Structures are given as structure tokens and as C-alpha cells.
Amino acid sequence: PLAERKYVPDDNHLHHETTTEHPGDKAKGHPGADERHRQQQQHGRLTKYVRSLKWTPIPLGVGFALLAYQHYRRVIRRANDPASRTGGGAQLAKNWEVTCYRMVPLRAFSRAWGWVHSINLPVWARAPLYSDAFNCNVGEAEIEDLQYYRNLGEFFRRGLKTGVRPICNQSAVVSPVDGTVLQCGKVECGNVEQVKGVSYSLPTFLGPHTWANSNNNDDVIINQAAANEQYCSGLMKNKGTALYHCVIYLAPGDYHRFHSPVEWKVQFRRHFAGELLSVNPVVARWIAGLFSLNERAVYVGEWEHGFFSYTAVGATNVGSIRVYDDKELSTNCWRLKKNTFIDKKFNKPLALQKGDNFGEFNLGSTIVLLFEAPLDFEFAAENGSKIHLGESLFKSKERLSPPPQSSPQSDENPSL
């Protein structure tokens, strides 16, 4: 059963400077309270007016101008600030910059790019385009003959040869994709880092905790006053555990299919119809709460240590997210309004083994893992490091708990 709900996101995740109004400010005639209130009203009126305008060719020009300005500002900052040259000192986007960026019709542009992906190319043009333009390791492809792939879409969704990605059975958690680890670690105070120094709210990212009552058609509004810690506690099922996260970015040249990182059961899916902003690490360092703004498919279930969620995040030119066992999922659909989500509760949970095929992107993107694990869980991957499908994410020679007994045949490492 599906239920579409109105989703009112927490706009505070857009702010790189938080402002708290104390209840007694106005009563005491505090000068800062009136000024903050006036600025918030002006910003709200300006945003409402700008969004009411008829934008046809203008958003593209605004978007390109904004990107050019942002690049210029970054160059100047790198020249004047030695710390920024080493990756520190992230300068977050202002509210008006994020608003302008969101006005660019990236969803329509991504749908057009998806159409381009489906155009069959001349046989003579396929090999040079595929091999040179995206720096792919075609030697790992299941079918090495590049002329076999009729269009860009088929090439990006190509399979891998058997054995090139062995799955580490000794690890509790393995990488679900080929990509770059943007950030991994423990969830602190209900906030998750998308890159170093830039975070987003877990309640905003996952939405209201209604997995057990997903058939309610009433509008759901996130309670912004609720403590993030309380939200996290509601997710966890066991004592002596904590929540951990891992964000992996898939570049256009990476293998585009994503797999199961653990043995688990998927019970619930929540599809957010959001933006399709770029998830490139440069943009992730610029826009706070980026993953909470973008379209995403959140899959929630349980593994041996409790709560487990697996989120495929859409991006510019990656409006198409396909999950093999969820035929009803339709992303970047013009019928879906922004700031809404659709819930689906699986009548029969999807049972996935470690390394199983889960889904695919059309052109790179990001995977976000959020899961419950014992307090001594430690990641093996380092932030910024390259990782491949099947490699261990857990820093230990032993599993967190004894593996279930299996037949002698199952001792062999599965591979893809």
C-alpha cells in the first residue's frame, strides 16, 4: 500500500548560522529579537515573491551566473586563505545562494539528460566516447566490447565480470558500491556529517519515524522542537549500541550498480520527491543539508544488530534511481510535487544477502548508510579514500558476532 504525505522540511538545515530566539527577548524589549524577526520576515516575503515569478529561460542564466560567482569566490578564498588549500575552512552557501540554485530547473534538465542517455549511438562512435570521456576501466566490464552498448544508459549500467569484486565474508559490513568515502563515523546528537564540518539533521533526512504506521494518510509535519537525540533513541532497538553512518559518492566513471552491504530484511521504503542538486564533493562542502534537499529513496529494515537504513540519493542528471525489487518506485516524476514523500510498507520483507544486487543509478550519485551497531564498531575506511564493492567497512579481523552456521559450500566468498 502507498500513501502520499505532505512533508514540511526543517528549513534550519539550510542555515550555516543558527539563530535561536529566547522566549523572554520580546518581553524584555531585547533589541536583537526585533531585528532577527524583521530579517526573517523580509527573507520570507522575498522568497515567496521570487518563487511566484514566471521563470522560463531565466533560471539557467541565474544558475550559471551563480556557479560562476561561486567558483570565483572559491578561487579568491583559496588564494587568500592557506587553510582552504588543504581542504579546511569550508565556506557555506548563504540562504539566497541556495534559493537561486534551487530555482534552476535541474529536474527537467535531468529528464532531458535521461532521454539523451537512451539515444542509440552509431557503432563507430561508441568505443571512443565510452572509453575516453568517462575514464572507465572497461577491462572489468562483463562485456568488454564497447560496441555492444547501444547508448550511454546501457554503458553506465554495465555489469562486472565474475570475480572482480569478491565479497569479504569476514567483515560485518562491506561497501555496497565502488566510490569515494565522503564521511563515516558515529552519529552525534542526531546530526550526520555529509563532509567534514558540514552536517544535516537525521530527522530531516529520514522524515518522521512512522515505519510501523505508514498507512496513515494524514499530513505529517516534523516536530522541529523534538530533540534529535530522542529521535535517534527511537530508531535503535538494542542496548549497548550506537548509530553509525557512511556516505559514499559514485563518480560518473564508477560502476553504477549498488548492492547490499549486509544480510538484512527491508521492511519499509520512503521516497522523497525533492531537488536534484549536484552531490559532487565540492557542492557537498558548500550546501549544508544537501542530502536532505535532494530526491532520495530511503529503505528501512533490520539486521543482526538492530536498525538499518539504506538511502539512494538522486542528483543532477541522476533523476533515475532503480531498485530491482521495488517496481513501484518512480523517481524524478513530474506528477510528484516537491516536499512530499510516498511511503510503502512491504507486506513481505525483502530478504537480502551481503553482496546481492539492490539497484542502479543512471549516472553516479551517493549512497548513505545509517545503522545500529555495538559501541566498539570501528570503520576501516578513511574519509576521502577510494573503496570498491565488497571491501570491508569494519576495522576488525573478526565479525561483531559469530556468523550463523552454514553449509561447507557457503564458506566460499561470493563475488560479482
With residues binned 3-state (H G I as helix, E B as strand, rest as coil), the percentages for the chain, rounded to 5, are: 30, 25, 45
The candidate with the shortest Cα–Cα distance to 368, out of 327, 319, 308, 328, is 308
Catalytic residue selected from 13, 171, 175, 178:
178
The set of residues, in sequence order, having a beta carbon less than 8 Å from that of 92 and lying 6+ positions away, is 16, 198, 286, 287, 288
Residue 161's CB is within 10 A of a number of other CB atoms, namely 14
Does the annotation mark 365 as catalytic?
Answer: yes
The runs of H, that is alpha helices, within 208-248 are 228-235
Catalytic residue selected from 13, 259, 271, 305:
259
Does the annotation mark 199 as catalytic?
Answer: no
The candidate with the shortest Cα–Cα distance to 289, out of 201, 197, 384, 185, is 201
Does the annotation mark 178 as catalytic?
Answer: yes
Q: Show the cell assigned to 343.
A: 511511503
The set of residues, in sequence order, having a beta carbon less than 8 Å from that of 411 and lying 6+ positions away, is 169
CA 374 to CA 237: how far, in whole Å?
Answer: 12
Annotate 264-300 with DSSP letters as a single string: EEEEEEEEEE-B-----HHHHTTSTTHHHHB-EEEEE
Q: What is the C-alpha end-to-end distance of the chain, expressed in Å? A: 33
Question: Which residue matches cell numbers 581542504?
Answer: 87
Q: Is residue 246 classed as helix, strand or coil in its secondary structure?
A: strand
Q: In this structure, are residues 385 and 164 in contact, taking their beta carbons and an 8 Å threshold?
A: no
Exposed / middle / buried, residue 124 (Cβ in 10 Å: 0-12, 13-18, 19+): exposed
Catalytic residue selected from 110, 171, 320, 365:
365
Angle at 275 (CA atoms; ends 274, 278), nearest 5 degrees: 140
What beta strand segments (E) does 81-139 contain? none
CA 250 to CA 153: how far, in whole Å?
Answer: 16
The backbone torsions φ and ψ at residue 403, rounded to the nearest 5 degrees and listed phi first, read -70, 155
The residues annotated with a catalytic role in the active site are: 178, 259, 365
